[in-house]
Amino acid sequence: MDVLINVFVALHIIGIASLLGGFLTQMKSMSTGTARFGPAMLHGALTMLVTGIALVGLNQADDNPVNNIKIGIKLAILVVILAVVYVKRDEETAPKGLFSAVGGLTTANILIATLWT
């Protein structure tokens, strides 16, 4: 089971890379107002959701403690990120404030995941 959990943590990290990478690679475009919510960000956010839920199930099945408050906060933040990226995915350019908010919320989730022990 440990191997399976670690595989899902790896997939979870790939999801972060896609979501945050999609944001970071467009920071310059953001300053010129041409950034957009690309497929990498949408698929990264979806990967986070699917692998995150799987990790909760796998950890519970393995009797590992799961911090429900921490996971609940991460889930709530990700739902906001996913909603914004999904709704705005076909727009040629993303509003600067909304785009930076998605980058900020993603970073907040990384800090919650790593600092809340």
Site residues for ligand HEM per CB under 6 A = 9, 12, 16, 48-49, 52-53, 55-56, 59, 66, 71, 74-75, 78, 106, 109-110, 113-114
The CB-of-32 to ligand HEM minimum distance in angstroms stands at 26
Based on CB atoms, which residue is closest to ligand HEM, 18 or 32? Answer: 18
User: Residue 99 class from Cβ within 10 Å (0-12 exposed, 13-18 middle, 19+ buried)?
Assistant: buried
| Among 52, 43, 47, residue whose Cα is nearest residue 22 | 43
Based on CB atoms, which residue is closest to ligand HEM, 24 or 53? Answer: 53
Which residue in the shown chain puts its C-beta closest to ligand HEM? 52
Measure Cα distances from 81 to 66, 69, 117 in Å: 23, 18, 23
The CB-of-13 to ligand HEM minimum distance in angstroms stands at 6
User: For residue 73, what are the contacts with CB-CB under 8 A and spacing of at least 6?
Assistant: 112
The CB-of-48 to ligand HEM minimum distance in angstroms stands at 4
